[in-house]
């Protein structure tokens, strides 16, 4: 029992000595490593920094193109299956006005637009 107390007090003294001589950046790094959410956010940020040089290749559209007629179109659901086969697509819509309320409405059509990477 006495040996355990002596050993634990010796470890505490050793840890205090390490903390006393550690620099500010090392102390911040030790504190950062203990914070799991910060480490996960760091990996996400690192992923974005690695992806940055390939943005033109990964990007899927022209950033200067603006479809003014479809600007207020609500989000369309992504449908994954068509006729029992895996075929991700969205259903095209046609805009118009409701003759009674004069509100803009978007009605689905029979046209399907396939969705994929690098289109």
Confirm whether pTM is higher than 0.95: no
Q: Which pLDDT belongs to residue 8? A: 74
Cβ distance 89 to 79 under 8 Å? yes
Q: State how far the Cα of 50 lies from the Cα of 80, in Å rounded to an integer.
A: 30
In tens, the pLDDT along 54-76 reads: 888 877 777 788 888 777 888 88
In tens, the pLDDT along 1-50 reads: 556 666 677 777 677 777 778 788 888 888 898 999 999 999 999 999 99
Q: Which pLDDT belongs to residue 53? A: 92
Residue 49 in tokens:
């920094």
The DSSP symbol for 54 reads G
């Amino acid at each position: 029992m006495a040996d355990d107390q002596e050993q634990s007090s010796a470890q505490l003294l050793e840890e205090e000595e390490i903390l006393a001589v550690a620099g500010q950046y090392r102390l911040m790094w030790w504190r950062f490593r203990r914070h799991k959410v910060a480490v996960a956010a760091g990996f996400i940020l690192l992923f974005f920094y690695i992806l940055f040089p390939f943005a033109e290749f990964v990007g899927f559209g022209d950033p200067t193109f603006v479809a003014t007629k479809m600007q207020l179109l609500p989000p369309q659901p992504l449908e994954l299956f068509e006729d029992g086969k895996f075929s991700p697509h969205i259903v095209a819509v046609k805009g118009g006005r409701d003759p009674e309320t004069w509100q803009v409405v978007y009605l689905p059509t029979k046209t399907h637009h396939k969705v994929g990477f690098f289109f």
